[in-house]
Structure 1
Amino acid sequence: MAKKIAVVLDNYFEDVEYTSPVEALKNEGHDITVIGKETGTVKGKSEDTEVTVDRAINDIKPEDFDALLIPGGFSPDMLRGDEEGRFGEFTKHFVQNEKPVFAICHGPQLLIDTDLLKGKKLTSFLSVRKDLENAGATVVDESVVVSDNIVTSRTPDDLEDFNRESVNLLK
């Protein structure tokens, strides 16, 4: 059964951390909606990848989605910079309601804003790990970690494992 997947995205996302998981999810028949600060387009770090933002964060409700994908790069940090905390609250809905969340590389930064990481086992890009620990998570250095409803990975090198476990969690 097709799931509705929200993808939160801003400029300077890691191109392949968006394109590869989205392709894997679409290949399984899932519907993807890209959500940003406003509609329009955002560019990846390479600036070769341009993605259309389908919906602005102010125009959607997390209840309308079954799962959340948070690609890495600088995008998660920029989304955390939203003064109203909309992306943190949006993400919190998924963690709180045990809906699947897929976060790779710097993506787990957005999970910190949920204040719900205590006892969760996660991984991420090296520079994010201490922040996750400070937020109460148990951090490990593995290619993919599945903890309850959350799938995390470290870098683009882990995409095969990340995509596999993300797709499996939706079955």
Structure 2
Amino acid sequence: MSIIGIIITDMFEDVEYTEPAAAFQKAGHQIVSIGLEKGKTVRGKRNQTPVKIDKSLDEVTPLDFDAILIPGGYSPDILRGEERAVEFIKNFFETGKPIFAICHGPQLLITAKVLNGMKVTGWKSIIQDIKNAGAEYVNQEVVVDDNLISSRGPENIPAFIKTSLERLK
């Protein structure tokens, strides 16, 4: 089965982490939380869901994972200010392996400058950011373009999970 890295820090949207992570594990995939500091516990913005960071960005390479999940909330905005996170996601994107980005997740991809010419969806407040990055915003619950699977937000989680799991087959 696949090893899925989840790049995450404080203030993530709880359900955009908990529901995909549970579905990936139920399907037999291994999840690894990737963050700024190994062993640190980060928390979701609504329910304060705790997530212990398994590996720091300094310990991983894109070769360690079969796919990456970028949950939304404020986490992607915080991570886009960290050069290690931007470089990791840029390098991972270039492998062609799947990236699953939901809600504000595309913010990290925007800063990595990998969305030009792609079709992407995300939370309504980042539509202009997506367009400014050279991507085409598509107002659908899930958008698949090459190795990127993106989704608008919490209400689209079931379709996002279904599409992500299909890609992992």
**TM-score, length-scaled by structure 2:** 0.96
1:154 aligns with 2:142: no
The answer to whether the aligner puts 1:5 opposite 2:7 as a matched pair is no
1:67 aligns with 2:60: no
What displacement does 1:47 show?
4.4
1:114 is displaced (CA, Å) by 2.3
User: 1: distance between equivalents of 2:64 and 2:85?
Assistant: 15
Matched, 1:49 2:49: yes
Partner of 2:93: 95
Give structure 1 stretches of 5+ with no counterpart. Answer: none
- The corresponding residue for 1:136 is 134
- 1:35-66 deviations in whole A, cap 9, x for unaligned? 11002100000243111110111111121111
Residue 155 (structure 1) shift: 1.0
Alpha-carbon distance in structure 2 between the residues aligned to 1:94 and 1:137: 18
Structure 1 segments of 4 or more deviating over 2 A? Answer: none
1:94-133 aligned at under 5 Å gives the runs 94-133=92-131
Percentage of pairs with the same residue: 48
After TM superposition, the score normalised by the length of structure 1 is 0.95
Q: State whether residues 71 and 102 of structure 2, in contact with CA within 8 Å, keep that contact through their aligned partners in structure 1.
A: yes
Please give the per-residue CA displacement for 1:49-98, whole angstroms capped at 9, x wherever unaligned. Answer: 1111101111111211111000000000000111xx11111111222111
RMSD: 0.9
Distance 1:126 1:45 in 2: 18
User: Counterparts of 1:14-33 in structure 2 under 5 Å?
Assistant: 14-33=13-32
Report the Cα distance in structure 2 between the residues aligned to 1:6 and 1:64, rounded to whole angstroms.
8
Shift of 1:116: 1.9
CA displacement, residues 111-151 of structure 1 (integer Å, 9 cap, x when unaligned): 11222212110000011111111111110111110111111
| Cα displacement (A) at 1:27 | 1.2
Kept in 1, the 8 Å contact 2:62–2:95? The answer is no
* Equivalent pairs, count: 168
Q: 2-side partners of 1:77 and 1:115: how far apart? A: 14
Amino acid at match of 1:46: R
